[in-house]
Amino acid sequence: MKQKQQKKKKGRSVQELMGIKTFTKYGLSTNKGELLFYLVAPTNISVLSHINIEIKIHHLMMVLSALPDIEIVCTDSSECFDDNKAYLTERLEVEENGKVRKLIKKDIDFLDTIQVEMATARQFFFVARIKGQKEKQVFETANRIESKIAGEGFEVHRLKKPEIKRILALYFEASMQGEAMPDIDGEQFYEVTDDEDEE
């Protein structure tokens, strides 16, 4: 019995462990419902007056009261270079060749510069979780949510599949080009032909 359970655990994919099933027409299907992602352009409140900030807060409150189940997500909009810097710092400590040490120092400085430029690069999302709805209902719900958010003065758009792939890749630190990643791991190396279909 124990061996069967261990076999089952070993056979689970990363996708299963994360609870992701597949991409849908409007979002991402998970074990806990379909997720719809809405990217919201951030507002620079440092240039707004106190009254305008209060208005923005009121608009956000209106969105949250109209859509009480909506979730707010904040992620980096670019790759984190901490692992690269840690590796280069370790290399620098053991490197004896002066010219190579100079190059490593330049690389570290370059990564520092990029990190500073991207330190404030954040993405903000509203995430709606849809359960037990048919495709037509999901489409109507997706449009209603987007209209409600936009109606409160937020610059918003619903993410399509390539954009969802990109944020997942950033979140799991897999790639900066998430939108180019295949839907199924390894599918780019295998092409189904008509002959194979017939067999």
What is the reported pTM? 0.61
| Residue 181 scores a pLDDT above 70 | no
- Three-state secondary structure along the chain? CHHHHHHHHHHCCHHHHHCEEEECCCCEEECCEEEEEEEECCCCHHHCCHHHHHHHHHHHHHHHHHCCCCEEEEEECCCCCHHHHHHHHHHHHHCCCHHHHHHHHHHHHHHHHHHHHHCCCEEEEEEEEECCCCHHHHHHHHHHHHHHHHHCCCCEEECCHHHHHHHHHHHCCCCCCHHHCCCCCCHHHCCCCHHHHHC
The band of 194, judged by pLDDT with boundaries at 50, 70 and 90, is: very low
> Which amino acid appears at position 175 of this protein?
S
The band of 198, judged by pLDDT with boundaries at 50, 70 and 90, is: very low
The β-bridge relationship of strands 33-40 and 20-23 is unpaired
pLDDT in tens, 58-86: 999 999 999 988 888 877 666 556 677 88
**How many angstroms separate the CA atoms of 51 and 55, rounded?**
6
Lowest mean pLDDT among 89-98, 102-111, 121-130: 121-130
pLDDT in tens, 108-166: 888 777 766 555 567 788 999 988 888 889 999 999 999 999 999 898 999 988 888 88
SS3 breakdown of the chain: % helix, strand, coil, rounded to 5? 55, 15, 30
pLDDT in tens, 12-52: 565 665 677 888 888 888 888 889 999 988 777 788 899 99
98-118 helix and 82-94 helix, angle to the nearest 10 degrees = 160
**How many angstroms separate the CA atoms of 136 and 138, rounded?**
5
